[in-house]
Each structure stands twice: as C-alpha cells, then as structure tokens.
Chain A
C-alpha cells in the first residue's frame, strides 16, 4: 500500500487522470441505472376523453333542488337541477384538496365534506378554504338526454 502511494506521489498527473476516468465511469454507469428507474416510476400519460359531449343524466332523473355526480372523462362532475328548474354542470373535484363535492339541498349550494368548502351552483367559491372556482361545463339538452361539455375557451 505504501509503495503504491509513493508511486502515486511520483506521478500525480497520472493518478489524477485515472481518478477522472474511474469517477466518470462510475457516474456514467450510475446515471444509466438511475435514469430508466426515474422514468419508470412516473407513469405514462393517459389520454383524457372529455372533448365531446358527456351524458350526465336523463330528464326526470333529478328532482328540483338536487344534484347528481356523473363521470366526466376519468373525473367526477356534478349536475345540479336548481329549485327554479335550471341545470348546472360543474367539476366535482374541489379546488382545495381534491375531494369530491356534493349538492346540499338545505343550503342551495355545493359543499365539500372534507374541509367545509362552499361553492355556488355555477362553481364560484364562496366560503371555506377553496382557492379557485370549480370549472363550469356547458349543459346541452338533446331530447331526453342531458349532456355536459367542456367550454371552448376554458
């Protein structure tokens, strides 16, 4: 061991060069192991199928002053029939921390059970912790069917 270090001291540049080669080699192999692992743990993106009309409910499914959760792509959305007979469709994913909201007939408002967030039926955040309004969708009535569609400019 002492012979080797003495030898190394005689030829510092050579030792230095070897260190760089070895270091680069080890770093390169580590990177080549880690890169695929890092890529692997992030799943591939799934395509969202929410461009077109999504069937939310049929006319007559909802009584006035009630709401219903429906599938909007792979996320839940909320269809509300207000007491005055108007349909509203909004995203049901609370902008606060992702819980699924519901319509409260007693409050005439949309409510999140997780942290007591409150929205109007068109998605505006009115009280509690939610920082942003819920996305509002267009409601389209076709015969007996009620469709929801993402707004063009949204």
Chain B
C-alpha cells in the first residue's frame, strides 16, 4: 500500500472522506440557454482570490504613510522585479471583479434567482457588492495620488452629508476633519484587515447558501420544463460544471494578463493637500454614474440642498434594490413586469450616465 493511499485511509477513518466525495459526485447543476450567466459568480470569486494573493504580495513593500505611500508604490512599479505586473494585476483585477460582480447581480436580478427560498442568498450577495465597492474605494486612496486624494475627499464628504450620523461617519472615515495621513492609515486598515475579514465570512455564507438551495432555474425555463419534462437537463457539478467554470477562469485570467501587460495601471502624481483639484478629476468608473448625477442636481431643490436629495435618492434606490426579493414575493403579472422594468431602467441609467460622463468629461 502506497504512502498516499495510507494517508487517504487515515483521513477517511477520521473525516469520512468518501462521504464528501460521494456528495460532490452527486451534486448536479441545471443546464439551459441562460446557464452561461451562472459562471459570473464563480468568476468574481476567482478574481477575489487573485486580489488576496496579489494584495499579500503588495503588502511586502507597501508603506501606509503620506510620506512613503506614493514612493513605495513607485518603488514596486519601477524597482521590484515583476512589481509592475503584481500591482497592475491587483488594480485591473479589482476593476474586473467589480464588473463581474455587477453583471452577476443584474443577471440574478433579471433571471429572478432571488425568489423564495433564496432571499438571503441575494441579501448576502448585495452586502458583498457593497463590501467590494468598499474595497475599491479604500484601495483607491492607498497610492496617495492626486486623483485618489480628491476622490476620497468627495466620497467621504458625500457620506458626511447623511442626516444625523453624517458628521460622525465623516470623522470616523477620515480619522479627523480632513483627508490626511490619518485617513490613509484608516483606509489601509479597512482595506487589508476589516474588509477582507467581513468579505471572507460573507463569501463563505453566500456559497453555502448557493449550495444549500442549489442553482435557481429561471421562471420561463421552469415553465417550459413543466410543459415538456423530457427537456429538463442537468449536468454533474464535478467534474463537468467545475471544468467549464475553470475554463471561464482561464478566460478571465487571459483578459487580466493582457490588460496588465498592455495597459499597466498608472500611478499619477503624488497627492498635495495644498494644491487645487486638477481638471478632469473623477472617481473610478463604477462610481461615475452617481458622480455625473450629482453634477446635474442643482444646488437647491425647494428648500432642500440638492446634494442631500441626490444622496438620499440613491440611498433609497439601493435599499429598495437590496430588498427586491421581499417586494417580488412570487406575485405574477403586473408586479413582476414592474420589477423587471425597474431593473431595465436602472441598468440603462447606469450605462447612459457612465458613458455620458466619459464623453462629456
């Protein structure tokens, strides 16, 4: 008996390895014309794993202080072997991860996978999306360049406009009244300790819930299968689905490698707290639609500050979106159409505003 076999037996006696194996071998995944959308969640997970690995690598050289942050990233980009690659992959992967997470969310929304009993899966996913945006926002500041400095000023100020708790949140986020070295230290802490902890826990919960309830079949497909039961198709999770998923991961990796090699992430100019905001200042693309909206809102609407109304409006919209499984409630007809309509509107609004922001500058 080989060593490997003995180790396997040893583990089997203690943990019942064959049961886990049997379980994995019996797990199946539905197959239909929308199945491709199923890969996006896994792709997001893959990009998150890349973020963890490249993030740890960046930690070996990065220094979180106003006098050293910019220089240390510059050092990583110019001196450390493959530093440019690691940092570019981290930045590009962050953007791709947000993209895949958002597309995953919309696909789940339109395929109505959030319906009973998967409400909590949707909720944990929405929380994860906010955490991912938090990763993006906090990580953006870490190189301490002009663009990120002003983006952080604006972003934290928006949070500070919330009624009652706004001021408290602003001081908490900034580590003082202004964006300064204290903010950088805090954002670093959020980015490498607080958020990864929460994200890992939520991802485990999210995946467990997906496993518990299985993958959702969209209502239209469900209806077709009920009418013609012979058309119902499933494939085994292992190895059939997993191998396909792995191919999707390879595609993501290829895109990532191409982007990082051909368009290395820029570092920009070092932030100066006593310089004017340069023209063309803007947040990352995923905040652009909100940024552009805020430009359009006049200073005063009736006796409210326009800014506050805009922020409260977005807040209410995000809250409603997060709670959509509870509005849907298995109702048919009008309510369903209304929810799909709202989704189409949201998607169109985000796309149009983002594109407009880049065209109009």
Contact = CB atoms under 8 A, between A and B. Distances in A.
Do the two chains belong together in a single complex? Answer: yes
B299 A99 contact: no
B307 A113 contact: no
20 contacts: A41-B172, A43-B171, A69-B276, A76-B273, A97-B154, A97-B157, A97-B158, A98-B156, A99-B153, A100-B274, A100-B277, A112-B277, A113-B276, A113-B279, A114-B150, A125-B299, A128-B295, A128-B299, A130-B299, A131-B306
Interface of A: 41-43, 46, 69-71, 74-76, 78, 92, 96-102, 112-116, 125, 128-131
A113 B281 contact: yes
Interface residues of B, number: 35
B171 A42 contact: yes
Interface in B99-152: 150
Contact of B178 (A41, A75, A92, A112): A75
Contacts of A116: 295
User: Which of A69, A78, A129 has the largest count of B CB atoms less than 10 A from its CB?
Assistant: A129
B353 to A, nearest CB: 14
Given A42-B171, A129-B307, A131-B305, A101 B298 contact: no
Given A43-B171, A114-B150, A129-B297, A100 B182 contact: no
Contacts of B179: 98
B300 interface: yes
Nearest to A42: B171
Nearest 3 Cβ contacts at the A-B interface: A102-B276, A98-B157, A99-B277
Contacts of B154: 97-99, 114
Which of A97, A112, A130 is packed against the most chain B CB atoms within 10 Å?
A: A97
A92 to B, nearest CB: 7
Interface in B274-295: 274-281, 291, 294-295
Most central of B177, B182, B291 by chain A CB within 10 Å: B177
Contact of B300 (A69, A100, A131): A131
A112 B172 CA distance: 26
B175 interface: yes
Given A42-B172, A129-B297, A100 B150 contact: yes
